[in-house]
Amino acid sequence: MREKQFLWGASTSAFQVEGGYQEDGKGLSTADARTVPPGIADAKVAADHYHHMVEDVALMKELGLTIYRFSFNWSRIMGDGFEPNQQGIDFYNQLIDECLRADIVPFPTLYHFEMPQALVDKFGGWKSRECISCFVDYAKVCFEAFGDRVKMWGTINEQLIVSAASDLNGNHEKDAAQKMKDMYQMSYHMSLAEKLTIQLFRKLVPEGEIGPICSMQVVYPESPLPANILAAKNAEDFLQHCFLDMSVFGRYPQAYRRYLEKKGWYPETQPEDVKTLTDNKPDLIGINYYCSTCIRALKPNEDTSKLPPFYRNELFTLGSNPYLKKTKWMEFGIDPEGLYIGMRDIYERYHLPMIVTENGLAYSDELIDDQIHDPYRIDYLSAHISQCERFVSEGYPLLGYCAWSLLDLVSSHQGFKKRYGLIYVDRTDEDVKQCRRIPKDSYYWYQTKIRDGLKD
């Protein structure tokens, strides 16, 4: 087991950082196959980590990181979804070994938004139970290839988002009601796959730790109106508890379950699923947090058709929080205290240690005289790390903190106009250039913070 020291890290995800499009046996992923608007970078080159990996790990070491949270690209390890690709496995072996030589704990996530397009083409991806065994087979390849050196693992990153993101999961059903039913069925299959993966993990990596990476939803009611209070509670069930309750307890919240049954959206299950779901519990919970959410009850005849799928029901809708500072890319507002509030709620419900796996500020950084001055990012990170220090000082088990992101990545929908990195990647949406790495002021600030450690 790893030493109980606070881990300082940074994060990336494979399809947003690697590039290496269909190189060395990599198959087509759902992230590769999706349609990207003109003038927006796609994932074919991304930040070109596939060809800059050794340099990137050296920058991590210089930064002082003690953990690197990344993801395996499912379609690089199993291009067609069925047969292992040794060249892809070799790449991750090299990455892991480079991290270990730099005294950095490698912390991979198995499923971060992309999957082999071949599985979508063959049987609809997660709509079919066939995808469950494909995922477990993929996890087995990873555990056997890397489990001798990798002891901290994430299962599924942000199941809330990946269940609803049609361009990343292949749910292109035209009928709106059927699409919703499919979405909940896909999410159920992901949960069952996660549980079977944990079961396998106990056998293959018995000394390791594994758990889900959640998109933490800190939900405030827009006002103390009772209807808004209830709407906020319903939102918590639909946006967070349904995923984490399943991960930890093997069941859905009761009100959530009843609503899906009423709508005809409750997923098809099999009797033997119950034992699998309840017997295999995670060791930790990864926390992705950028901002809080404000919720209110719907008004009569209100149109919700333009909301994301997970907001399309009669129980709640987005409200507005006038107390938070909003920016172009942080449209929900910046709320450092929400990180503390949300983690406290999660611990009191699940009683599992946590690690912050993503937390960062998006900004359209500009390179001036070969430098990036980003005091806005330093302010954001500093304020959120202070809330982590508060959390730890009160005795809650927080394993570490990972800033999002290590370096500028291709954003899912905004390309390289939206940047989160501690390290600037010198490319634009339309000109890849050399993807030169340039540490930002926030990189050097974080370097000092890591050296100084947590405040008491």
Q: Which residues are catalytic?
A: 358
Q: What is the DSSP letter of 435?
A: -
Helix-, strand-, coil-residue percentages of the chain, each rounded to 5:
45, 15, 40
Q: Which residues, other chains included, contact 323 with Cβ-Cβ below 8 Å and sequence gap of 6+?
A: 333
Residues 77, 119 contacting (CB under 8 angstroms): no
CB atoms within 10 A of CB 84: 18
φ, ψ at 35 (rounded to 5°): -85, 125
DSSP H/E element including 287: strand 285-288
Place of tokens 């291009």: 79
Residues 212, 350 contacting (CB under 8 angstroms): no
Residues 418, 362 contacting (CB under 8 angstroms): yes
- Using CA atoms, how far residue 363 sits from 328, 373, 383, 397, in Å, is 8, 12, 17, 31
Q: Which of 220, 219, 202 shows the shortest CA–CA distance to 281?
A: 202
DSSP assignment of 356-409 equals EEE----B----BTTB---HHHHHHHHHHHHHHHHHHHTT--EEEEEEE-SB--
Segments in 250-312 forming alpha helices (H): 254-263, 273-279
The amino acid present at 327, given as its one-letter code, is T
DSSP assignment of 90-152 equals HHHHHHHHHHHHTT-EEEEEEESS--BHHHHHHH-GGGSTHHHHHHHHHHHHHHHHHTTT--E
